[in-house]
């Protein structure tokens, strides 16, 4: 029974990763028609409605304690408002495939924050893994050019900042440990995130472009709202209810590969060999930080 639950949870996590990987491509395409604020507002507005319908159908409890609203508000600011705005803005300047590679750097920041605030040990293996991942980031952002001749691209900086922000968000979720179902938490963070973006979108008159929005863009918005913002976050929470965070995080290494394939097929993006090598360095370095490579080596040595 335990193995069956683990398999089901892994499927939930893989579905989430697949949706998140493709989300960079959908957002990149939408930025030709809409500004980042409008995209986020519509995306989480759709997600909130969909999640509310799910809660009613599944007869989940919407009730939360008043003293927990402050924690949900913090999660909404970090996980919805800041994170999604920074990512969407970065895609104005960089390719979707590059964004996919860089987002996999997030566990390195998580490890650093865990050392600083959760008293986790800093080991030589973690230092080595972080160093390899940093080399990978340099390869992705410079395309193999000399760092001295490299002109900083604000898009790369924004995406790297979003990985730091996601690490802070992940640490806070662990510390808050809210006593509600993943569906309820996802609904409230989506609702609060949606409400936070409405005033800015209204002032920027982003809604004025909706009447002329083509059908393809509406399909992208529905995908981002229902599958990426609602189902993916919900399924990720469900996976974490059964599996440990480190077990689920292994599947995050598939996200840039999904983005890469989607970017080539849907956006016809060119792929640089140095970016692929850099992305693999990030994934390898992060896996060392999380001890997955070391555990795999130990396991195979033990078998011999």
Give the C-alpha separation, 201 to 208, whole Å: 10
Q: pLDDT tens-digit profile of 156-175?
A: 889 888 888 877 887 787 67
> For residue 301, is pLDDT > 50?
no
Q: Which pLDDT belongs to residue 119?
A: 64
Give the C-alpha separation, 232 to 193, whole Å: 16
To 5 degrees, how large is the angle CA 19–CA 245–CA 239? 50
SS3 content of the chain, % helix, strand, coil (to 5): 80, 0, 20
CA gyration radius for the chain?
19
Give the C-alpha separation, 18 to 219, whole Å: 17
Give the C-alpha separation, 42 to 50, whole Å: 12
> For residue 291, is pLDDT > 60?
yes
122 vs 63, residue with greater confidence: 63
Q: Which pLDDT belongs to residue 97?
A: 77
Looking at every residue in the chain, the average pLDDT score rounds to 79
Give the C-alpha separation, 56 to 54, whole Å: 5
Of 27, 39, 28, 24, residue with least CA distance to 209: 39
Confidence bin at 144 (pLDDT 50/70/90):
low
Of 287, 266, 286, 283, residue with least CA distance to 275: 283
pTM: predicted TM-score of the whole model, two decimal places: 0.76
> Scanning the structure block, which residue is given the tokens 């924050």?
113
Give the C-alpha separation, 31 to 49, whole Å: 23
> For residue 248, is pLDDT > 60?
no
Tell me if 135 sits within 8 A of 298, measured CB to CB.
no
Q: pLDDT tens-digit profile of 3-35?
A: 666 677 778 888 888 898 888 889 999 998 898
């Amino acid at each position: 029974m335990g193995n069956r639950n683990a398999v089901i949870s892994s499927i939930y996590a893989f579905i989430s990763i697949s949706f998140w990987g493709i989300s960079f491509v959908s957002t990149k395409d939408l930025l030709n028609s809409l500004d980042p604020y409008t995209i986020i507002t519509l995306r989480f507005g759709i997600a909130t409605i969909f999640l509310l319908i799910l809660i009613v159908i599944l007869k989940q409890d919407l009730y939360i304690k008043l003293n927990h609203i402050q924690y949900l508000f913090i999660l909404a600011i970090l996980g919805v408002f800041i994170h999604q705005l920074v990512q969407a803005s970065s895609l104005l300047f960089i390719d979707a495939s590059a964004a996919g590679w860089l987002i996999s750097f997030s566990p390195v920041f998580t490890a650093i924050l865990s050392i600083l605030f959760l008293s986790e040990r800093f080991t030589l293996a973690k230092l080595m893994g972080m160093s390899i991942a940093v080399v990978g980031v340099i390869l992705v952002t410079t395309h193999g050019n000399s760092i001295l001749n490299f002109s900083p691209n604000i898009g790369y900086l924004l995406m790297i900042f979003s990985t730091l922000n996601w690490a802070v968000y992940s640490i806070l979720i662990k510390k808050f440990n809210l006593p509600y179902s993943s569906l309820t938490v996802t609904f409230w963070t989506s609702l609060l995130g949606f409400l936070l973006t409405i005033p800015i979108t209204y002032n920027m008159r982003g809604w004025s472009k909706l009447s002329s929005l083509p059908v393809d863009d509406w399909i992208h918005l529905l995908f981002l709202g229902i599958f990426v913002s609602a189902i993916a976050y919900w399924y990720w929470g469900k996976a974490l209810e059964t599996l440990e965070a480190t077990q689920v995080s292994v599947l995050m290494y598939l996200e840039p590969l999904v983005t890469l394939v989607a970017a080539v097929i849907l956006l016809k993006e060119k792929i640089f060999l140095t970016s692929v090598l850099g992305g693999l360095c990030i994934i390898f370095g992060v896996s060392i930080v999380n001890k997955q490579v070391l555990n795999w080596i130990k396991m195979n040595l033990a078998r011999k």
